[in-house]
Amino acid sequence: MSNRPDVGDAVPDVAMETPDGGSVKPSDFKGGKLVLFFYPKDNTPGCTTENIDFSALVDEFSAAGTSLLGISKDSAKKHQNFIAKHALKAPLATDPEEDGLADALGIWVEKSMYGRSYMGMERTTFLVDADGKIAQVWRKVKVKGHAAEVLEAAKAL
């Protein structure tokens, strides 16, 4: 079995921390569709744009019976600041530092910048169906137009 679950596989059920100190996991959304969008870091240009784009479409996703959850390894406190600074409406969660959902999905990967290697989040979005199975995956996401594309896929599911 690949360490990168793909379309048709059940989404791993790993608990994450919410900005208010609570807990959330994919199975909490069973019975409805769910978009898990993983992004590298709060308050960086691409990630900010992606979160604003998803937030702008929260009502449309809701009308399509789809919940949103933005996920990074940033702390709950950083998420609170990020949400407040940009008036974000799409809920966020903090993936555990080790053995988190990103690890289980194979998207916490080695990256390199300026010749330096480090572990980082591969910008990836998963559309999960009402049974908790992965319906569609967008890997190495380009932010422009992405939220709208995911919305169309959610409507079609």
Mean pLDDT on 54-80:
98
Please check whether residue 94 lies inside any domain of the structure: yes
Q: What share of the chain is helix, strand, coil (3-state, %, to 5)?
A: 30, 30, 40
Per the structure, how many domains does the chain have? 1
The CATH number linked to 48 is 3.40.30.10
Residue 2: pLDDT above 70? no
List pLDDT tens digits, range 5-63: 999 999 999 999 999 999 999 999 999 999 999 999 999 999 999 999 999 999 999 99
- What is the domain range of residue 119? 38-156
Phi, psi (deg, nearest 5) at residue 41:
-160, 135
Residues 34, 35, 47, 71: which is the catalytic one?
47
Please check whether residue 2 lies inside any domain of the structure: no
List pLDDT tens digits, range 79-111: 999 999 999 999 999 999 999 999 999 999 999
Residue 126 pairs with which residues in a beta bridge?
Answer: 36, 137
Please check whether residue 61 lies inside any domain of the structure: yes
Mean pLDDT on 122-132:
98
Helix (H) or strand (E) holding 55: helix 45-56
List the one residue out of 89, 128, 82 whose CA is nearest residue 105. Answer: 128
**CA 41 – CA 108 distance, rounded (Å):** 12
Indicate the pTM of the whole model: 0.96
- CA of 53: how far to CAs of 68, 77, 116, 157, in Å? 12, 22, 31, 20
pLDDT band with cut points at 50, 70 and 90 for residue 153: very high
Residue 47 falls in the annotated catalytic set: yes
